[in-house]
Amino acid sequence: MIKKLTVFLILVIGIASSVFASEPDWSVNPAEYKSNMTITGVINFYGEESADSNDLVGAFANGICRGVGSPIYVVEMDRWMVFLLVFGNESFDTLSFRLYDESSDEIYDCEKNMVFEMNGIVGDPMSPYVWSYPTLSSEAAFIEFSLEGQLRETIITDTLIRIVMPSGTDLTSLVANFTADTGNYVSVNGLLQESGITVNDFSEPVIYTILSADESITRYYTVLVTIEQAVEAANFFSPNGDLINDTWMIKDPELYENCEFIIFDAMGVKVFEQTGYNNDWDGKYKGNKLPDGTYYFIIRCEDVDYKGSITLLR
């Protein structure tokens, strides 16, 4: 019986040894160094964060291991985090990183490097550094953003998104459809947003936060949603050079930058046409002054046309 048990234990130990045979022998002797730096981060394999305490991240300088860490579950953050202590004698050493994935028994090289800084601190539980394979994107931006039933195209700048909704729309309960850069985390007031699902109140400006996949870049967009109103356009102007009402004016012309502006005379002759408008029509056609009289305009947008008349009197 004892002989059989001995054979069994030998087999078990042999199997265990083969399973972990490729686990890297990364180690560092802190006594050889006079300083250290701390990196708080997470490990990511193929877009999924590691939740395995047997996974490893190793820091290296000139091929020598300077620190090793593995994920630890942090209850307060509900996240598996690595608190990596990296040792060194001089600042400005270039650190490279290698990752060990216990589930696949593979070792990967990280593309991103870091400069060692004595007593330096990188990352924290709220904003961890991310070691990843493959490398995650550092881009953070909206590619598309829309609300169902909106009028005209969405205006997106670096920090602002403007949308116009039809008259009578209830802005307090709208669902946004959006596309962001790959792997981005999109949130509002700390709540994760899902395109086509999450409801928000757009009766006031809504600030969207976008965090890049590698958590290195954060961007903020303010979404302004307004209700469509009849175009507020002057029905009179007097281009006589006195600097008063010298051009035909409309309110908030930037809202109509993708609309086509057309003006006709009383005979139906087109005297002005362009996309977008800068409040600069001075009552001329091909450089010549047009006669006093009534003119008619059409502002042709994607979903609606606005029409009206203008009196020109010098």
**Matching CATH topology for 19-133 and 142-227?**
yes
Per domain, the residue ranges of the chain are 19-133, 142-227, 236-312
User: Hey, what CATH topology would domain 236-312 get?
Assistant: Immunoglobulin-like (2.60.40)
Mean pLDDT of the residues in the chain: 90
Which of 3.30.200, 2.60.120, 2.60.40, 1.10.510 would CATH assign to domain 19-133? 2.60.40
Q: What pLDDT is recorded for position 52? A: 97
Q: What pLDDT is recorded for position 301? A: 86
pLDDT tier at 11, thresholds 50, 70, 90: very low
pLDDT tens-digit readout, 24-75: 999 999 999 999 999 999 999 999 999 999 999 999 999 999 999 999 999 9
Q: Return d(Cα 120, Cα 84) in angstroms, integer.
A: 12
Helix (H, G, I), strand (E, B) or coil at 166: coil
pLDDT tier at 114, thresholds 50, 70, 90: very high
pLDDT exceeds cutoff 80 at 206: yes
Q: What pLDDT is recorded for position 130? A: 97
Q: What pLDDT is recorded for position 72? A: 98
pLDDT tens-digit readout, 213-224: 999 999 999 999
pLDDT tens-digit readout, 234-285: 999 999 999 899 999 999 898 889 899 999 998 999 999 999 999 999 999 9
Which is more confident, 304 or 108? 108
127-139: average pLDDT: 96
pLDDT exceeds cutoff 70 at 21: no
Report how far apart, in Å, the C-alpha atoms of 255 and of each of 148, 301, 307 are. Answer: 18, 10, 16
Q: Which CATH architecture has domain 142-227?
A: Sandwich (2.60)
Q: Return d(Cα 136, Cα 115) in angstroms, integer.
A: 20
Which is more confident, 168 or 43? 43
Contacts of 199 (CB under 8 A, 6+ apart): 173, 174, 175
Q: Return d(Cα 290, Cα 135) in angstroms, integer.
A: 63
pLDDT tier at 302, thresholds 50, 70, 90: confident
> Considering the chain, what percentage of its residues have pLDDT values greater than 70?
93
